[in-house]
Structure formats: C-alpha cells, structure tokens
Amino acid sequence: MFKKSLVAVGLAAVLTLTACGGSTGAGGGGSDEITLGFAQVGAESGWRTANTKSIQESAKTAGINLKFSDAQQKQENQIKAIRSYIQQKVDLIAFSPVVESGWDTVLKEAKDANIPVILTDRAIDSPDKTLYKTFLGSDFVLEGQEAAKWLIKDKEAATGDVNIVELQGTTGAAPANDRMSGFADLIKAESKFKIIASQTGDFTRSGGKQVMEAFLKSNPKIDVVYAHNDDMALGAIEAIEAAGKVPGKDITIISVDATKDGMTAAADGKINFIVECNPLLGDQLMDLTKKVLAGETVPERVVTVETTFDSAQAKAALPDRKY
Ligand code: AHR
C-alpha cells in the first residue's frame, strides 16, 4: 500500500518506488509496509474495548497499516468488511468471528485472492483448516471448567440443591458455546448442581441486567449466577441489588474476563470468582502477521495463558490491572 509520505515526492518518484519496492504480501501495492485488515466483532464489552485498543496500539508500534472495522455484533457486517478488505487487496486479514458457523464462502474468496487469514480471539467451526493460517486466543472450554471447579469446591459442604442461573454470551459465539459446555461437563458429576435457567445476555451489561431481572422474577431460589463475561455479571449485580439482595453473599457470582470493572466488583466482594480471559492480543497478532507474510511457519493454534481470581486475589491484583 502507498505510504502517505511518499505522495509528496511526486508521481514519477512514487511510480519508481512502486516498481522497485517488493510487496510483503499478496495484496501489497508496492511498498514494504504491511496492510492488515481487521474485522472486529463490535464494542459490546469492556473486554472488547481493551482488545480493540491493544490491536490499534500494537499495529502502530509494529509499523503496520491497520484497516479496522466494527461489525456491531452482526455476522453480515463482518462478511462485508472481509469482502471489502479482499477488494482493497490488503496483505492479510484478521478477524474475531461473531459466531462460529458460516464462514467458508468468504474465507474461500480470501484464499482465492491469495490473502492469508488469521483468526483472533474466537474460533470458527469449519473442518477446512486451510482457510486460515493460525488461531490466536483463549481456551474457552478451559475457562468454563475453571469456573465449575471453583464452584464445586466452594459448595462442597452444601447438602441441598444448588440452583444456578447462567447468563450466556452471544448465541452461536465460540466463547458462549465453550464456556457453557466446559462448565456443564464438570458440574454434572454432582446431582445437587441444577442449572435452572440459561439465557443469552449478548455479552452486554444491559443484556445481563435484563435477563437477571427476569430470572429473579420467575425463580424464588437462586444460589449462583454463572455469567459468561464481566459485563453481564455487572448488569446482574444491578438487578440483584434492585431486588433487595446482596450480590456475592445472598447469591454467589462467577464471571469470566477479569476486566478492571469486574475485578473492582470482585475486590468489593460482589463477584466471588473470576476466570481471566486476556484481550491484549495485539502484539502477538502483529508478530504472527509478519511471520505469515514472511513465509515462516506458524503454529496452527496459539493459546493465551490465563489465571483465575477469588475476591482476595482480585483485590491484590487490581492496582496493576492493565485492562
Ligand atoms: O470473545 C471474547 C468474549 O467476547 C469476552 O469474554 C467477552 O467479554 C467479549 O464480548
């Protein structure tokens, strides 16, 4: 792609540079600058805001020209953005798929145009692994399992039923599917754990609040909220407090992400346990982009390393929290 600074030196000089400069990737227009097209999910959560910031800052630091689009949580918008990146002949396309299914056609178009693709944060369910070079992101099944492990231990002494309500992420999204299955697979070993209601809050604070209000109206005994992200847990906390109950005491709350807002609620004892999901993927993405375009072999899966926090651990970690 053309560097803006080159425009000033005149068309003839630009044409010379274009002719001489080797393109780094398939779609490069003649300079060594890499152009990366990134199709983001949206701005649904604190996690997503931190992820976007990380990608934008890392691209700048790495000297990569970033074209960025926000799909507002709609798959059709993301597909449009990917098609537009193909038309613009970017060097590489990266995206975090809103949902798992329905990507084969557009990714085949990218492959036919010789533009490599990197999945970040979320997976797709296509059996055709040649449609993308690598997948960088968390192990969402493990995150669900971590949530379940903590709950099993925390309720070790409980003799009666433990009634759980689940706030699911966006329907069909990898983190919603995997956090649901990872959690369910472990708690089913003990019959006292009952998931009495499970509904999507779309990973948003308002969604979490709305669904929790409905859960509280129709279920007189709720012992545990398992929220697939902090924003929904924070919305649920508002609904619980409005109903005159004490979050973290009357109702145990488990969440995923460990954003500053989530960690603050945990430090205050309103969230009892948080499984970390790290959004700071920018540096690794830029590194993988450069390697793929240089023809280097990259691992087909790069898993983000993460931890967990109970209330005391959240309090201790909060001052240094980066997102
Ligand atoms: O894909 C990662 C998930 O998407 C985060 O856990 C959630 O907060 C976000 O919206």
Task: Kindly state the average pLDDT of the residues 86-95.
Answer: 98
- pLDDT tens for 79-88 read 999 999 999 9
Q: Quote the ligand 1 centre to 203 CA distance (angstroms).
A: 7
The helix-helix angle for 104-112 and 75-87 (nearest 10°) equals: 10
Residue 78 CB less than 6 A away from ligand 1: no
Inform me whether the pLDDT recorded for 25 exceeds 50. Answer: no
C-alpha dihedral (149, 150, 156, 160), degrees to nearest 10: -90
Q: Ligand 1 pocket test: pick from 48, 142, 170 the residue with the most ligand atoms within 8 Å of its Cβ.
A: 48
CA distance 83 to 176: 26
Distance set, CA 120 to CA 53, 75, 137 (Å)? 14, 15, 6
φ/ψ of 194, rounded to 5, equals -120, 120
Q: Quote the ligand 1 centre to 315 CA distance (angstroms).
A: 22
pTM: 0.91
CA distance 149 to 145: 6
Q: In which band, very low, low, confident or very high, does the pLDDT at 143 lie, cut at 50, 70 and 90?
A: very high
Q: Quote the ligand 1 centre to 49 CA distance (angstroms).
A: 10
Q: Ligand 1 pocket test: pick from 53, 203, 276 the residue with the most ligand atoms within 8 Å of its Cβ.
A: 203
- pLDDT tens for 31-87 read 689 999 999 999 999 999 999 999 999 999 999 999 999 999 999 999 999 999 999
For each of the domains in the chain, give its residue range(s) and CATH number, in order of start: 25-138+279-306 (3.40.50.2300), 140-277 (3.40.50.2300)
